[in-house]
Amino acid sequence: MNPEIQSQSARPALEQGVEHQPLIAQKPNIETSPKSDAMPGNLPITNPSSSPKKLTLIPLIFLIYFEVAGGPYGEEPAVKAAGPLFAIIGFLVFPFIWSIPEALITAELSTAYPGNGGFVIWAERAFGPFWGSLMGTWKFLSGVINIAAFPVLCIDYVQKIIPAFESGLPRYLAILGSTLALSFLNYTGLTIVGYAAIHPKRWISLGQKGVKKDWNLFFNTLFWNLNFWDNVSTLAGEVDRPQETLPRALFIAVIFTCVAYLIPLFAVTGSVSVAQSEWEAGFHAEAAEIIAGKWLKYWIEVGAVLSAIGLFEAQLSSSAFQLLGMADLGFLPKFFAIRSKWFNTPWVGILLSTLITLCVSYMDFTDIISSANFLYGLGMLLEFASFLWLRRKLPSLKRPYRVPMRLPLLVIMCLIPSGFLVLVMGIATKTVYLISGVMTAAGIGWYFLMKFCRSKNIFKFGIVEVEER
């Protein structure tokens, strides 16, 4: 390898203020070397200036919005689970105990390490390559499982107009076709971007009498609709001036997302009086017909389909670029970083993500979001720990955006959402425990498999080998 290229690869780390941590000298044959003394902090960061097309502020805001929400579609089960009052309180309070802390952490660490890989880099820098790899497993699998929910959600809305999609072969084919079509759209690199009387007293309803509250569904619905803020970090290397653009985009997207959930929730719960069991995913379309007629129902259906497309594309992009970043860092073989010659998209990551998505697309919708939430929760606990440890371990690290709190307050900020994570994970079903346990074990096995492949020179890996001492 050309020494000049090696020097350029190492430069981004130096630019982030870690000059006191010397990088390991690179040898021409390092990518096939079975061992290395690489320590946390020594992995190269994908050069953010290497991509010819950059995400600017406005597209980035909508990308974050579609990674998290994409509209109020999917919030309806919260009302079914616990009634209007708890649903409204949940969407009012949850952003403060979850969304804002996660967005702040993402802003600080993404600007400190502005390269593709995001949270994988953070965990590796804090605790070493094993934890970086496991973080990658948890977040990638939670992402691709989450992607599987969007075609299902889309079909749940469309079936209100086309009943044939409710079950059987037509539904299976619709999910398969939409998944493949949207994955191809991602491969091309296309950027996606009446009168009713309101009765406020309905907002304070605790739910229909005699209906038992389903807290598992309630908390998982809140969590699923308001998480994945840190997914944008896997695309930090594609962002124009990430140190300035990312914090602004995250701030605006948080406000945008909360308003987009609350306004329809206030409007529909205050306008429509139906049995609580009617609040399934897709009910906003039924409510629109009750309020203003079929024209509004069809309009909502169109919005739901477009929302599902945006959610699918944003999530798939994050998952594919996460694999690309992990390949650049040496966690995965180099071929995971291959981009399409026509569209410059990471087609290997898109293909793998799509295959896994198809495998879980036919699970129960609740099991899909619960499994995604559980794996994501494991990753977030590690992310909170990485954030706090990096603050303590590298206090002088250059942070273009810095959460304006000292370490004790940061610990409190992270403990509150961590407590919620433990709650959500504690009420998971046996199916979710089984899926998450198997996938975690597979992730650990994958790490040691990659170590074996590196030692035997089976595949080519990145510049710096991610071996633990």
Which residues make beta-bridge pairs with 239? 55
Amino acid at 465: E
Residues 6 or more apart from 203 whose CB is under 8 A from it? Answer: 84, 85, 88, 266, 269, 270
pLDDT at 248 > cutoff 80: yes
DSSP-derived letter for residue 99 is: I
pLDDT at 40 > cutoff 60: no
**What does the pLDDT read at residue 376?**
87
Q: What is the dihedral of CA 236, 240, 245, 249, to 10 degrees?
A: -70
Q: Count structural domains, the chain.
A: 1
pLDDT at 256 > cutoff 70: yes
Which residues make beta-bridge pairs with 360? none
**Which tens digits make up the pLDDT trace of 398-437?**
988 899 899 999 999 999 989 988 887 888 888 889 988 9
What average pLDDT score do residues 210-239 get?
75
What average pLDDT score do residues 336-356 get?
85
Q: Is residue 439 part of a domain?
A: yes
**Which tens digits make up the pLDDT trace of 358-388?**
888 777 767 777 888 889 889 999 999 999 9
What average pLDDT score do residues 335-341 get?
84
What average pLDDT score do residues 116-128 get?
88
Backbone angles phi, psi at 382, to 5 degrees: -65, -35
Mean pLDDT of the residues in the chain: 77
Question: Which 3 state secondary structure label does DSSP give 2?
Answer: coil
| C-alpha–C-alpha distance, residues 104 and 47, integer Å | 23
pTM of full prediction above 0.95: no
What average pLDDT score do residues 179-193 get?
70
State the residue range of the domain holding 441.
3-455
Per cent of the chain over pLDDT 70 is: 80
pLDDT at 154 > cutoff 70: yes
Q: For residue 70, how far is the Cα from the chain centroid?
A: 13
pLDDT at 395 > cutoff 50: yes
Q: Is residue 245 part of a domain?
A: yes
What is 307-355 written as a DSSP string?
Answer: HHHHHHHHHHHHHHHHHHHHHHHTSS-GGGG---TTT---HHHHHHHHH
**What does the pLDDT read at residue 70?**
63
Which pLDDT band, with edges at 50, 70 and 90, does 194 fall under?
very low
**What does the pLDDT read at residue 195?**
39
- Whether residue 328 contacts residue 460, with contact meaning beta carbons closer than 8 Å, is answered with no
**What does the pLDDT read at residue 200?**
64
Which CATH number is 29's domain given? 1.20.1740.10
Q: Is residue 468 part of a domain?
A: no
Q: Is residue 171 part of a domain?
A: yes
pLDDT at 31 > cutoff 70: no
Which pLDDT band, with edges at 50, 70 and 90, does 127 fall under?
very high
Per cent of the chain over pLDDT 90 is: 15
Residues 6 or more apart from 444 whose CB is under 8 A from it? Answer: 134, 137
What average pLDDT score do residues 350-357 get?
88
Q: Is residue 16 part of a domain?
A: yes
Q: Is residue 224 part of a domain?
A: yes
Among candidate residues 314, 288, 330, the one with its CA nearest the CA of residue 232: 314
Which residues make beta-bridge pairs with 55? 239
What average pLDDT score do residues 56-80 get?
75
**What does the pLDDT read at residue 137?**
93
Q: Is residue 469 part of a domain?
A: no
**Which tens digits make up the pLDDT trace of 12-26?**
333 344 333 332 233
Q: Is residue 70 part of a domain?
A: yes
Residues 6 or more apart from 329 whose CB is under 8 A from it? Answer: 43, 44, 45, 46, 117, 120, 121, 124, 132, 462, 464, 466
